Structures are given as C-alpha cells and as structure tokens.
Amino acid sequence: MEDLSPIIMTCIINGLITAMLYMLVAVGASLVFGILDIVNFAHGEFYMFGGFIAYVLFGQLHLNYFLTIGIAFLVVGTFGFFIEKFIFARFRRMLLQSFIVCMGLIWIFRESMRFIFGIWDKNVPVAFKGIIEIGKISFSVERLVITIVGLVLIVVLYLFIDKTNQGRAMRAIAQNPEAAALQGVDISYISSLAFGIGCGLAAIAGVLIAPLLYVSTGMGATMIITVFNIIILGGLGSVSGCLLGSLIMGFVNSFGGTFFPQAVVNLIIYMSIFILLVIRPRGLLGHA
Amino acid sequence: MRRQISVMLFIVWLVGAIFVGNVFSETLVIGANVPLTGPAAQFGLGKMRALEMRIEEYNAKGGLNIKGVNYKMKLVAYDHKTQPGEAASVAKKLIYDDKTKFILAGAVGACCRAAETATIPNNVMFVFSCAGKELLGPDKPLNFRDSMSSEEQCYALMAIVKKANPHIKTIAVLSSNDTTGWDSCKGLIRAAEKFGIKCVAEEYFERDVTDFHPVLARILAKKPDLLDNAGTPLATGCIVFKQAYEMGYRGVKSWLGCGMPQGLVNMAGPEASEGTYLGSSWDYNDPKFNMRELTEKLKVYKARYGDEWDYTGISTYASAKIIFDSMIKAQSLDPHVIAQTMVETQPHQTFLGPYIFGNEGYYGIKRAGMHPAVMGQIQKGKMVNAGFAIHPDLAKLIGENWKFPQ
C-alpha cells in the first residue's frame, strides 16, 4: 500500500501556511465589519497594493524584505485610514451604500494600477532561498518565514486589541458604539484606525505572497472570495472566528485539493457554508 | 476645341483611374477577438499586433486589389477578457456592427468555442491559435488554426526529450481545465505512448488557481520521470514549476505550450526552470535554425512594442500573409473561395519556413497550421534549440530531408 504519510505531512504544512496568509487578509476585513459595520469588498485591492509594493521596493529597488513589509503596512495602512475618514465615514452602518462605494473603489484601484504597471503579471524574486527537507517532505524556507511572520502578527494584533487603549476602544465600539461614544471614545478616529490597520495587514499578506506566486492587478479579486468565505464561516466581526475559519479553509483546500478535484473541493466548501448559515447564521464564533 | 480636349483628357484620366483602381477604394475590416487583459493577454496582444503590422504592410503597398477594387484593410480588435460570454458578444459585434467576414485572431479555447457560435452561421473565416480537436472539422470549413497545437507539436517534443533522456518511462501532465488544456494533455499522452512513456498522472486545474501544492502532492507521489505543463498559460505554469521545485521535484520537465522562455526563467527562477524542454520555443538567432526574415521582424517588433513576441503572435503574422495573398490569388473576398485557395496553393513560404494547413487524418479537414517544429530547452538561464521535427503531412510536401537554410 502506498505510504501516505509524506503526502499527509505536506498537506498539514501547506494547510498551515495557507491558513496564515488567509488570516492576515481576513482579519482586517473582519475587524472592519466588527467596528464599522460595513463589508469592505475592496479589501482585496489593499492586498494587491501590498504585492505591488513588494514588486517595486523589493523586486526592483532591492530594499530589505522586512523593511518592505514595514513600509507596505505603513503606506497602505495610512491610505486606508484616509479612505475611511473621507469616504467610508459617511456610510458607516449602511450596508448597501458602502457596497456601492466598494464597487467603485475596486474599479478605480484596479484600473489605476493597470495604468501604472501595465497588464503583465510581475515577478518578485524569492526573498529567502533554500529548501528544507525533512525525510520525504520538502518545503521552501520562504514558506517557513511566511508562517512565522503570520504567527507573530497574530500575536501582536491580539495584544494590541487586548492590551492597548485603542484596542479596547475598538472592542467598545464593536459592542456598542453609542455607549462607547458616551465613554469618550473618538468613534471617528478609532474607526479610521481600525480600517487602516485592516488594510495594512492585507498589504503585509500581499508582500508575503508576492515571491511565492506573481503580482497582478487581479490578485485581490481571487483572494476576496476566499476571505469572505472565511469571515462567514468564522463569524462576521469575530477575530478569533477569523482565525478558526482560516485554519479550516487552509486545511480543507490543502487536503481536499490533494485527494479530490478542485471542483469537488469547492462544492464541499460552499455546501458547508450553506449548511452552517442555515444552522448557525452568525458563524462558528460570531456574536449573536 | 480646348474644351473638347479637356473633356477627352478627363475621360482618359477617369477610365485609367477606374482600371488602375486608384479612384475607387473600399475598406476591408479584419477582426480580432482576443484577450488583451488578464493572464492570457500574452497571447492576445501578440496576435493583435501581428495583424496590425501585416495590415500596415499591405496598406502601404496600396491594399488588396481584388477585381479592380483596392481594399484598404482596417483592424478592429476587441478584448474578450478570457470570458466566453464576452467572446461571443465580441464576435457578434465584429460581424453585425463592424461587418467583417474575417476574424483572423482568436485565443483561449472556451472563448473560441463561444465565438464560433457566431462565426459559423455567418460564414466568417475564423483563425485562432487555441488547441482543441472540436474547433476544426469538415462541419466548420472556415475555422483555421494558425499555430501548431499540441497535436502537431507533441510528437516532436517527445521525440527530442526521449532521445536526450532515454531513461524516461513515465510522464505526468497537468494543464488548465479548458479545450487547450484537454487537447494538450491528451496529445502528449498519445505521443508519449509512441515512445514507450506511460502516463501516471493527468490533472486539470481552473485558471485562477495559484496554489498547486495539493495537486502537485498528488502528482509527485506517483514519481513521474517527466512533468509537463501542457497548455498552461505562462504565469500559472511558472508557479507550477516553482512550487514543484520547492516540493523537491528534480526530474525532467517539459512545457508544450510555453512560448516565452525568458518569462519562464524570470518568473519561475533559474533553478526551477533549468533544463525545461519547451514545445513552442525557438531561438531564432541560432544559425542552425535560422530564418533571416523572422530574425529581422522580431527586432522590428521589439523596437516597436518593447516586448518579446510570442509564438502565437508570430504564427498569426505568417498566416495573415497567406490569407491576404490567397485573397489576391483567388481575386475574391469570399471566405470559402479563399479557404480553398489557401489549401490548394500550399506549401506557402513564410518566415517560419514552409507552411501548410494539414493534419486531415486527425481533424478530417486540412485546417491545422504546420511548419518545421523547433523545440527549445532552458540551459543556464537561456533558451537554446534542442532540435526540430517535421510533421508527416508537411514532410509529404517538402520532403523528409528538409533543412533550415544555412
């Protein structure tokens, strides 16, 4: 009988790595919904911005990779902050209006990047060369770095939300915006800050994925569908639900894609989400 | 008297102008239904530009003179965005709004299948590069393929790979889940069997997939000696080889449908791309496989567009000449008459070498473009020619011993 252990180990490692990437993008979108009550369909475009920042700074100008990550977070995060402040602020808690705004932003962002960078996909060189071989399993050093960076960022985000004043303010707004305002929380500033942090995290994910794949103006569109599957699965507005949803999606894609055709995997994912929405509409860890 | 002379001179001039065809000229619309954006844009842009250049050349010489009328050609190109629905709409727009009878550039299997639902009932000549047995046939005599598909190339590729790597006994093929992918994979499997190579894995993926670890885990568990990317688009195929390398695959690699070798090296990386045999690649400057006109035209393309010209675009440039010359030979703009002329007057001398439309044994009609097939290989980050082969149908017309001019 064929030895499946190397395949299973590869699936586990790959699932974990995939989950980390998904989580970085999804947590930002979940944070935005939890605090601003809007579903940011343009979230994938900030992930795309991160990819292009990696292409320019790391790929073309040969800046240090970790510096590139930091710059991507700051630049895209700041951009996101002002996008919320001057555009989304008017549509907080208005789902339909904010959806229309998102559609407009998607087209503007995508076409602008296409105009600046052209239509061709861009290659970003590998940041960390080398292959790690453990028995019959091998994976790249690059992927190991992604996993470590992802874990670090999750911990940092958790500490930020749990321990800092801004984090507590975000939780307060998510629970009850009116009460939070009465307690002296600057709703406008904290909302913009949350949006900016979400966008910054998505940009980091874009920088991390760039050397593994390629950078294109359409990369956000592919990611956003997965992100919303995760958010629905985990629960809208729940960061811990986001983490759980990312792990589930990462492993389903990894194991499912290895043993079944992709069409079957997609069927499993969407049927599961459908059943979950019927049984538990708020998601696995979503708030009632 | 003076008035009479003036009138006579005017009549002489008018008659001369009519017979020379300089006074009356018409516009002949040439259509292109191609992807100009998205992952398949590499195919569409090259083809559109090929038509653009060819049309400019003919128009500069006065256009096409058909039965005394000069036709200036006008290119109308639309982006089908790799969406079959859009391709069908574009085809209808070209036929009903732009009034063309010639759509001479098409790409992406599903999109060509969608477009032909409009071209076939309207007797429009449709020339495309995508693979797919069902795209050619006696029931669609105006469909032509201008570049060699897997069915025509894979025999040559397997011959060259097996000769250089006699130990190869198994092959794994994977490609995009569309007409081009299916036919590429099936053609490779058939050709491989002729050389005693057994297929151990045949996988298809959707075009927007970027993580190939799951499917590669399944494939690499079968321990193939040879891994082929078949008809996968450039960016996606590069990720496949990159990720296969990461997962420890060090066997022989080939890529039937890769027409941009430098793109492979740049995007997959030098380690992952090293040694890959390429089915649609040709170092045009190699003196052993050189057609001078082609080398010159590549420089012109690079200077004008700043890009590498991929094989499907080059073959469109070659086939456009055949079609326009056939219009002149046949003195007709009837697509059926032109199609007949194209086949009856072959082989055609092009910058790809002797070129025919053949492979009637597989498709039931002579509509598959063929020329001497040069196969490349990536060695130390550069593409070099590994050899060439001639399809049996072409060999019947030009001889088995045809060689590139030295």
CATH code of residue B390: 3.40.50.2300
State the residue range of the domain holding B29: 12-148+294-371
User: A199-226 burial, b for 16+ CB within 10 Å, e for fewer?
Assistant: bbbbbbbbbbbbbbbbbbbbbbbbbbeb
| B3 pLDDT above the threshold of 70 | yes
Say if B22 is an interface residue toward chain A (CB within 8 Å). no
Residue B287 lies in a domain: no
CB contact under 8 A, A139 and B209: no
Which chain B residues touch A121 with a CB distance below 8 Å?
39, 234-235, 267
Say if A121 is an interface residue toward chain B (CB within 8 Å). yes
**pLDDT band per the 50, 70, 90 thresholds, residue B228:** very high
Amino acid at B340: Q
DSSP 3-state assignment of B246?
A: helix
Say if A256 is an interface residue toward chain B (CB within 8 Å). yes
CB contact under 8 A, A123 and B39: no
For A129, the token pair is: 């060369």
Q: How many CB atoms lie within 10 A of CB B65?
A: 16
**pLDDT band per the 50, 70, 90 thresholds, residue B14:** low
Are residues B64 and B196 part of one domain?
Answer: no
Residue B406 lies in a domain: no
Radius of gyration of chain A (CA): 19
Are residues B79 and B196 part of one domain?
Answer: no
pTM of the model: 0.69
Look-up of token digits 């049309």? B55
User: A147-164 burial, b for 16+ CB within 10 Å, e for fewer?
Assistant: bebbeebbeebeeebeee
Are residues B380 and B360 part of one domain?
Answer: no
Say if A257 is an interface residue toward chain B (CB within 8 Å). yes
Look-up of token digits 């984090």? A167
Interface test with B, best of A4, A17, A213, A222 (most B CBs within 10 A): A213
Are residues B256 and B117 part of one domain?
Answer: no
Which chain A residue is nearest to residue B37, measuring alpha carbons?
A119
Distances (CA, A) of B84 to A5, A255, B87, B269: 41, 31, 5, 32
Say if A259 is an interface residue toward chain B (CB within 8 Å). yes
Interface test with B, best of A258, A259, A265, A269 (most B CBs within 10 A): A258
Which chain A residue is nearest to residue B214, measuring alpha carbons?
A258
Residue B92 lies in a domain: yes
Give pLDDT tens digits for B93-150.
Answer: 999 999 999 999 999 889 999 999 999 999 999 999 988 889 999 999 999 999 998 7
Are residues B252 and B387 part of one domain?
Answer: yes
pLDDT given for residue A138 in this prediction = 76
Out of B208, B221, B267, name the one closest to residue A222 (CB). Answer: B208
| B207 pLDDT above the threshold of 50 | yes
Are residues B49 and B23 part of one domain?
Answer: yes
Out of B206, B209, B221, name the one closest to residue A7 (CB). Answer: B221
Which chain A residue is nearest to residue B205, measuring alpha carbons?
A262
Are the beta carbons of B188 and B141 closer than 8 angstroms?
no
Say if B400 is an interface residue toward chain A (CB within 8 Å). no
B78: left (phi over 0), alpha (psi -120 to 50) or beta: beta
* CA atoms of B253 and B161, how far apart (whole Å): 9
| B12 pLDDT above the threshold of 80 | no
| B22 pLDDT above the threshold of 70 | no
CB contact under 8 A, A123 and B239: no
Give pLDDT tens digits for B143-152.
Answer: 999 999 878 8
CB contact under 8 A, B215 and A255: no
Residue B140 lies in a domain: yes
Which chain B residues touch A120 with a CB distance below 8 Å?
41-42
CB contact under 8 A, A138 and B248: yes
* CA atoms of B338 and B321, how far apart (whole Å): 12
Distance between A41 CA and the closest CA of chain B, angstroms: 19
SS3 string of A2-60?
CCCHHHHHHHHHHHHHHHHHHHHHHHHHHHHHHHHCCCCCCHHHHHHHHHHHHHHHHHH
Say if A2 is an interface residue toward chain B (CB within 8 Å). yes
Which chain A residues touch B242 with a CB distance below 8 Å?
212
Residue B5 lies in a domain: no
Q: Which helix (H) or strand (E) holds B69?
A: strand B69-79
- Chains A and B: how many Cβ contacts under 8 Å? 81
Are residues B41 and B102 part of one domain?
Answer: yes
Look-up of token digits 């911005």? A49
For A269, the token pair is: 């994912």
CB contact under 8 A, A7 and B217: yes
pLDDT given for residue A87 in this prediction = 92
Contacts of A137 (CB under 8 A, 6+ apart): A6, A9, A10, A13
Beta bridge partners, B254, equal B228, B277
Are residues B382 and B271 part of one domain?
Answer: yes
B5: left (phi over 0), alpha (psi -120 to 50) or beta: alpha
Which chain B residues touch A133 with a CB distance below 8 Å?
248
Average pLDDT, chain B: 90
Which chain B residues touch A14 with a CB distance below 8 Å?
211, 213-214, 217
pLDDT given for residue B21 in this prediction = 45
* CA atoms of A215 and B281, how far apart (whole Å): 24
Are the beta carbons of B210 and B238 closer than 8 angstroms?
no
Radius of gyration of chain B (CA): 23
For B301, the token pair is: 């393309």
Amino acid at B226: L
Contacts of B396 (CB under 8 A, 6+ apart): none
Are residues B222 and B135 part of one domain?
Answer: no
Which chain A residue is nearest to residue B267, measuring alpha carbons?
A123
Mean pLDDT per 10-residue segment, chain A (288 residues): 72 86 87 81 94 96 95 97 92 85 93 88 85 79 86 89 89 85 90 93 93 87 88 83 90 84 82 86 76
**pLDDT band per the 50, 70, 90 thresholds, residue B174:** very high
Residues A182-191: contacts with CB within 8 Å, 24+ apart? A188/A85, A188/A89, A190/A35, A190/A166, A191/A35, A191/A36, A191/A84, A191/A89, A191/A92
Out of B36, B215, B267, name the one closest to residue A214 (CB). Answer: B267
Say if A18 is an interface residue toward chain B (CB within 8 Å). yes
| B305 pLDDT above the threshold of 50 | yes
Which chain B residues touch A114 with a CB distance below 8 Å?
37
Are residues B273 and B232 part of one domain?
Answer: yes
Angle at A166 between CA A160 and CA A169, to 5 degrees: 115
Average pLDDT of the segment spanning B178-184: 84
Quote the ipTM score: 0.73
Look-up of token digits 């057609």? B291
Are residues B269 and B163 part of one domain?
Answer: yes
Distance between A258 CA and the closest CA of chain B, angstroms: 4
CB contact under 8 A, A10 and B217: yes
Residue B232 lies in a domain: yes
Contacts of B104 (CB under 8 A, 6+ apart): B30, B31, B32, B51, B125, B127, B316, B319, B320, B323
For A275, the token pair is: 């059943």
Beta bridge partners, B26, equal B71
| B188 pLDDT above the threshold of 90 | yes
Say if B222 is an interface residue toward chain A (CB within 8 Å). no
Say if A120 is an interface residue toward chain B (CB within 8 Å). yes
Q: Could you give the maximum distance between any two Cα atoms of chain A, in Å?
A: 67
Structural domain tally of chain B? 2
Average pLDDT of the segment spanning B344-355: 94
Better-scored residue on pLDDT, B402 or B105: B105
A130: left (phi over 0), alpha (psi -120 to 50) or beta: left
Residue B403 lies in a domain: no
Which chain B residues touch A16 with a CB distance below 8 Å?
none
Residue B320 lies in a domain: yes
Are residues B127 and B26 part of one domain?
Answer: yes
Distance between A77 CA and the closest CA of chain B, angstroms: 26
